[in-house]
Amino acid sequence: MNDQPTKYSREFAIQMDEEDELHAYRAEFYVKEGSIYFDGNSLGLLSKRAEKSMLLLLDSWKKYGIDGWIEGEYPWFYLSESLGGKMASLVGAAPEEVIVTGSTTSNLHQLISTFYEPKGMRTKILADNITFPSDIYALKSQIRLKCYDPDEHLVTVNSRDGHLLSEADIIESMTDDILVIVLSSILYRSGQILDMKLLTEEAHKRGIIIGFDLCHSIGSIPHQLSKWEVDFAFWCTYKHLNGGPGSVGALYVNKRHFGKEPGLAGWFSSRKDKQFDMEHDLTQANHAGAYQMGTPHVLSVAPLIGSLEIFDEIGIESIREKSLELTGYMLELINHELIEYEFVVRNPEEDSKRGGHIYLEHPEAARICKALKAKHIVPDFRTPNGIRLAPVALYNTFEEVWKTIQTLKTIMDEEEYKEFDNKRGVVA
């Protein structure tokens, strides 16, 4: 008799959890009792350290009033720079290349208004046809602000299957009229990782500026933005970074662009020692801080102090390693248990191309998600027929993955999803 548990048994999952070096971190998060949260790629869970830093900054307001800008444990005036420095290791950048500011969309506006300076025949922006809508809206409005027609000046690479992009297709679209490229590091639906190093090299060979939206890769996979010489990047902090609803975003600008005038300037673009001179000529900061605008949203930055400490302690490499094990295990279970039910796996299966979540399609996806929620499992529905499942390395377990796939199997076996209508809710 062999008493090794088989791969598909609950015992196997439990054994994986016992061997997991990050397992202890789960206790640092507020995981709702009796429920399984697989939506950390939309809104990460609250950690006790983030809660603590949030309360600490609230207290600094109570204690210091206006002097909180320069007093207390985390003086507010320097917070955007200091946290940018802490985030830099997650994107592989120098500390001064990253600043915590704005939101994904407002940072994209800032960076495009800075780098999109159409001249001669180079007047176009290249993006793709399956990216997040906000990015496209921002690019179109920036093109309009330069008095061009987005129909002509926004070029999109088309996905061949509606889910994945081919790097070769993207490179082929890098023509002489393209000035700036904006792509996602990880596609928000299929979770495909784009080869940022290759795309940056190819863009630069052709004299094109390139930037990435890191919303789904920040805190999920390692990056080497400086080494790859990526020109700019921007991201939110409420997904894998667990900064809380509406937490402040961040941006990266490569060193060689320092000194470039911000397209959208404000008094926080200033060199810090000059800011309170109140001159009408801006002396811009000589680092990524120049691309801030106004007063930082201190209370929406505060949870990041605690949250980033966790990433710093563990290191992104170990987080990625566990994340790959979790998603790899989930895929194996899906391929074994759900084979007879019309599910199609839309994320790339190979490790080098697979981000932090699994993306399934099913014609009944909306009501399958409702059936999961009724059983206290939180997935993420993407219209019209997508189910995103994000087992997060910091707080999810192998046993939760096992339970979820078992539950999905029961929902399908017993046709429990038929008790719900196949329509989406307001948010997901």
Ligand X SMILES: *Cc1c(COP(=O)(O)O)cnc(C)c1O
Q: Which residues are annotated as a binding site for pyridoxal 5'-phosphate?
A: 104-105, 132-135, 213, 216, 238, 267, 295
Report the C-alpha dihedral over residues 256, 143, 239, 294, rounded to 10 degrees: 70
Judged by CB under 6 A, how many residues of this single chain contact ligand X?
A: 13
- Minimum CB distance to ligand X, residue 213 (Å): 5
- Minimum CB distance to ligand X, residue 259 (Å): 27
Cβ atoms of 105 and 131 within 8 Å: the answer is: no
382 binds ligand X (CB under 6 A): no
Return d(Cα 7, Cα 3) in angstroms, integer.
Answer: 12
Nearest Cα to Cα of residue 225 among 88, 121, 55, 414 = 88
Residue 425, CB-side half-sphere exposure with 13 Å CA sphere: 12
Nearer to ligand X, 60 or 103 (CB): 103
Which of 89, 134, 173, 275 touches ligand X (CB under 6 A)?
134
Which of 49, 216, 322, 357 touches ligand X (CB under 6 A)?
216
- Minimum CB distance to ligand X, residue 142 (Å): 15
137 binds ligand X (CB under 6 A): no
Return d(Cα 359, Cα 38) in angstroms, integer.
Answer: 12
Q: Which residue has the tokens 């399934």?
A: 360
Nearer to ligand X, 104 or 292 (CB): 104
The conformation of residue 263, written as its DSSP 8-state character, comes to S
Give the residues across from 209 on adjacent strands: 180
390 binds ligand X (CB under 6 A): no
- Minimum CB distance to ligand X, residue 390 (Å): 12
140 binds ligand X (CB under 6 A): no
Cβ atoms of 84 and 288 within 8 Å: the answer is: yes
Taking contact as CB under 6 A, which single stretch among the options 99-107, 326-334, 378-386, 389-397 is the one that binds ligand X? 99-107
103 binds ligand X (CB under 6 A): yes
Type and span of the H or E element at 20: none
Return d(Cα 401, Cα 17) in angstroms, integer.
Answer: 11
In total, the chain counts a number of residues equal to: 428
Return d(Cα 249, Cα 364) in angstroms, integer.
Answer: 34
Known binding residues are: 104-105, 132-135, 213, 216, 238, 267, 295
* Residue 36, Cβ density class (10 Å: 0-12 exposed, 13-18 middle, ≥19 buried): buried
184 binds ligand X (CB under 6 A): yes
104 binds ligand X (CB under 6 A): yes
Which of 105, 275, 283, 385 touches ligand X (CB under 6 A)?
105
Q: Which of residues 270-329 bind ligand X (CB under 6 A)?
A: none
Q: In what order do the strands lie in the sheet with 250-253?
A: 98-100, 250-253, 232-235, 209-213, 178-184, 124-128, 154-157
Nearer to ligand X, 60 or 184 (CB): 184
Which of 29, 38, 74, 188 touches ligand X (CB under 6 A)?
188
Angle (deg, nearest 10), helices 10-19 and 316-337: 180
Binding mask 224-243 for ligand X (x = CB under 6 A): ------------x-------
Return d(Cα 295, Cα 77) in angstroms, integer.
Answer: 9
The CA angle 124-250-148, to the nearest 5 degrees, is 20
Which of 39, 96, 128, 135 touches ligand X (CB under 6 A)?
135
- Minimum CB distance to ligand X, residue 239 (Å): 6
- Minimum CB distance to ligand X, residue 64 (Å): 30
- Minimum CB distance to ligand X, residue 348 (Å): 17
Where along the sequence are the contacts to ligand X (CB under 6 A)? 103-105, 132, 134-135, 184, 188, 213, 215-216, 236, 249
